[in-house]
Amino acid sequence: MAPADIVRPTHVEVNLSCLERNFTAIRQHVGSAKVMPVLKANAYGHGLVEVARLMVGLGADYLGAAFLEEGLLLRQAGITAPVLVLGSLAGEQIPRFIQNDLTLTASSIDKLQLIDEAAAALNLRAKVHLKVDTGMERVGIHHYSAPKLLEASLLCRHLEVEGIYSHFANADAADLSHARLQLERFLDVLAFYERHSLPAPMRHIANSAGVLQLPESHLDLVRPGIMLYGVYPSSECQRTVKVEPALQWKSQVCYFKVVQPGSPVSYGSTWQSDHPVRIVTVPVGYGDGYFRALSNQAQVLIRGQRYPIVGRVCMDQFMVNIEWDSAYNGDVVTLLGRDGNETITADDLARWAGTIPYEVLTNINTRVPRVYMRDQ
């Protein structure tokens, strides 16, 4: 059964003890490097504010967010720890970053100058990390043009260049040649500071895959994302740090019926049985982030047994074929997690839906309540 204070039977359970162990394992693995838990997309579905509070309590050196709005939610919740906003920014947002002591990403000379001007107008000092593109082709100044950005930063009088970073495109692959090329390019950029007899700002490039596969990339700070939540970046990635999933997604049986042969189930009539079967309905759907692509593909756990979803996943419900087994209204249905000796992982759901575990976790809608617990 769902906890008594949860009105909706569909809920996510987040085990804070698992998150704590994962963070500790990462910190031990990276040695002297600082650790910045990445909390974007509602902390990968686990709950932004709650996970942030846990990480601050564990001594996280920095918190990572994607957008201004995520940073503001942390500040509004009373979290005063340093927050680096990793995403690109619009010029009109810059004053709000500075006023709320959020660290900005400066990905071009123009943005750097806008930040400096905004800080001067506010009579405040901004904190920035410079972003270098070493092979992602997303955001950041190209590595071969980076000296211009670094030179421009030395002329800014109203900001502190606290860090400089890049991002791996393929560090989760078995073939690490491109990731090593990116690291080499980044180190070449950083040589600017030695050439000018200047102390380098905080250097970082390692995401979860970099933490796991490229110890030489740990530098001054690492940015664990999905591995913090107990999921590995890819099937190819070496599992050099033991982490455990912190999230389970559960619901309940809400209806039971016997469906006769030849009677199709759900929209589009994509599934029917050639013999009588027992079908149960579960109050979860693509409106909750349970993908429609899981129709006739996914399995769930009921009473420790695996059963297939049949027919199309609806916005708020889906149906499960339990053949002639027993299930009753109120029985727990595990969509993601363990029941008895059976487990459904984020990798399982991703495979059935034709996507990646990142999308599975971050798509769990906020209308699904989060329940926080610890090991008993």
Any idea what the CATH number is for the domain that residue 214 is in? Answer: 3.20.20.10
User: Last residue of a domain, which of 202, 229, 256?
Assistant: 229
Is 321 inside a domain boundary? yes
- 144, 255, 267, 328: which is the annotated catalytic residue? 267
Q: How confident is the model at residue 1 (pLDDT cuts 50, 70, 90)?
A: very low
Q: Distances from the Cα of 295 to the Cαs of 101, 196, 268, 291, 362, in angstroms? A: 45, 60, 11, 8, 19
Per-residue pLDDT at 326: 95
Active site residue 34: no
Q: Can you name the residues that pair with 300 across neighbouring β-strands?
A: 307
- 40, 111, 131, 250: which is the annotated catalytic residue? 40
Residue 89 clears pLDDT 90, i.e. is over it: no
Q: Widest CA span of the chain, in angstroms?
A: 80
Residues 193 and 284 both lie in one domain = no
Residues 265 and 305 both lie in one domain = yes
- Over the chain, what is the mean pLDDT? 97
Residues in the chain, total: 376
Q: Distances from the Cα of 333 to the Cαs of 271, 359, 366, in angstroms? A: 21, 21, 19
Residue 165 clears pLDDT 80, i.e. is over it: yes
Residues 164 and 287 both lie in one domain = no
Per-residue pLDDT at 8: 87
Q: How confident is the model at residue 5 (pLDDT cuts 50, 70, 90)?
A: low
Is 5 inside a domain boundary? no
pLDDT, tens digit (0-9, with 9 covering 90-100), for 196-208 = 999 999 999 999 9
Q: What is the percent of the chain with per-residue pLDDT over 70, rounded to a whole number?
A: 98
Active site residue 267: yes
Output phi, psi for 82, to 5 deg. Answer: -60, 135
Residues 211 and 264 both lie in one domain = no
pLDDT, tens digit (0-9, with 9 covering 90-100), for 214-267 = 999 999 999 999 999 999 999 999 999 999 999 999 999 999 999 999 999 999
Per-residue pLDDT at 6: 55
Residues 68 and 116 both lie in one domain = yes
Structure tokens at 264: 């199709």
Give the C-alpha separation, 352 to 344, whole Å. 11
Residue 342 clears pLDDT 50, i.e. is over it: yes
Structure tokens at 230: 């107990």
Per-residue pLDDT at 376: 80
Structurally, the chain folds into a number of domains equal to 2
Residue 273 clears pLDDT 60, i.e. is over it: yes
User: Last residue of a domain, which of 229, 262, 292?
Assistant: 229
Per-residue pLDDT at 2: 45
Residues 129 and 169 both lie in one domain = yes
Is 238 inside a domain boundary? no
Give the C-alpha separation, 120 to 125, whole Å. 7
Give the C-alpha separation, 316 to 296, whole Å. 16
Give the C-alpha separation, 65 to 72, whole Å. 10
Task: Taking residues 82-99, report their average pLDDT.
Answer: 94
Q: Distances from the Cα of 351 to the Cαs of 186, 271, 321, 346, in angstroms? A: 34, 20, 20, 9
User: Which residue range(s) make up the domain with 169?
Assistant: 32-229
Strands 11-15 and 370-373: parallel
Strands 159-165 and 299-302: unpaired
User: Last residue of a domain, which of 196, 229, 262?
Assistant: 229
